[in-house]
Amino acid sequence: MKLIFLASLLAFGSYLGYTIVEDPGSQLFGKTVTAGPSDAREIALTFDDGPNPPYTDRILDVLRAERVQATFFVVGRAAVAYPATLRRIVREGHSIGNHTWDHSHLLVQSQATVGDELKRTDDAIYRITGIRTWLMRPPFGARDFAVLDEAKALGYTVVMWSVPLPNDWDQPGDATIARRVIDNVHDGSIIVLHDGNRGIVCDPRRTAPDLCDRAQDVAATREIIEHLKAQGYRFVTVPHLLADSVDATRTLAHSSQ
């Protein structure tokens, strides 16, 4: 059924397919979060695809120096490879979200596999940090009914974004990344940067060095924070940003985590 649906979707053409399944704002398949309230000068920085030392740690250094809290959507296989960095994220007051076990494109997976991707990652995060997250972001932003059904059944709020992706993975220069973000921020914005590359565990002796190089994201993070602070924005975690808009029970149930 899922394959038939996917095939017919692709038959529309790849652009329309993208519009429906990866457009962060589309609510066709179910409700996702794309932004926080538009009446407060609060925004959320999110980092996908790590942990990925030393770049995740360098981003954490910037956040600490700027006294800013962010949200890290981590890939399970990278969390297991770098538990100390994952623990540091939590220890320094940031939030964690589930970005699946191996950054799989969930549209080609069965619903059971989607569940396994999320549960395996959740178990790893819990084993390493003692917390459970209720946030998830699908790799590539790709979701359909089955993905959202499964995420919801497991208790997740699916978090997309409102600022267009700055294509930081192409390494266009930190000033360009920062400018693409800054020019598109509004009250309640959710920003996506990348501290890793699809959860790939980079061994400097064996992997092409630029595959996991996120130095531009480190520099862009600092520039984005400095510019937007000067415009009066406050940086908060996704749970903080959503505190007034998700249902109170869920907020309470997770407030101690």
Which helix (H) or strand (E) covers residue 11, if one does? helix 2-11
Determine whether 48 is an active site residue. yes
Q: What is the CA radius of gyration of the chain?
A: 17
- Which candidate in 194, 195, 217, 254 is catalytic? 194
Provide, rounded to whole angstroms, the least separation between the CB of residue 159 and Zn ion.
12
Beta bridge partners of 159: 33
Closest CA to 155 of 119, 120, 121: 119
Provide, rounded to whole angstroms, the least separation between the CB of residue 199 and Zn ion.
8
- Tell me how far apart the alpha carbons of residues 163 and 204 are, in angstroms, rounded to a whole number: 32
Provide, rounded to whole angstroms, the least separation between the CB of residue 23 and Zn ion.
16
- Which candidate in 48, 49, 168, 195 is catalytic? 48
Provide, rounded to whole angstroms, the least separation between the CB of residue 208 and Zn ion.
19
Q: Based on CB atoms, which residue is closest to Zn ion, 29 or 140? A: 140
Provide, rounded to whole angstroms, the least separation between the CB of residue 24 and Zn ion.
12
Coil, strand, or helix at residue 122? helix
Q: Based on CB atoms, which residue is closest to Zn ion, 128 or 136? A: 136
Determine whether 194 is an active site residue. yes
Which helix (H) or strand (E) covers residue 235, if one does? strand 234-235
Q: Based on CB atoms, which residue is closest to Zn ion, 187 or 213? A: 213
Beta bridge partners of 47: 72, 193
Which helix (H) or strand (E) covers residue 88, if one does? helix 83-91
Alpha-helical runs (H) found in 108-188:
111-129, 145-153, 174-182
Coil, strand, or helix at residue 82? coil
CB-based closest residue to Zn ion:
48
Binding residues vs Zn ion (CB under 5 A): 48-49, 139
DSSP state of 250: H
Closest CA to 238 of 176, 159, 162: 159
- Tell me how far apart the alpha carbons of residues 195 and 198 are, in angstroms, rounded to a whole number: 10
Q: Based on CB atoms, which residue is closest to Zn ion, 161 or 233? A: 161
Q: Based on CB atoms, which residue is closest to Zn ion, 160 or 233? A: 160
- The residues annotated as belonging to the active site are 48, 194
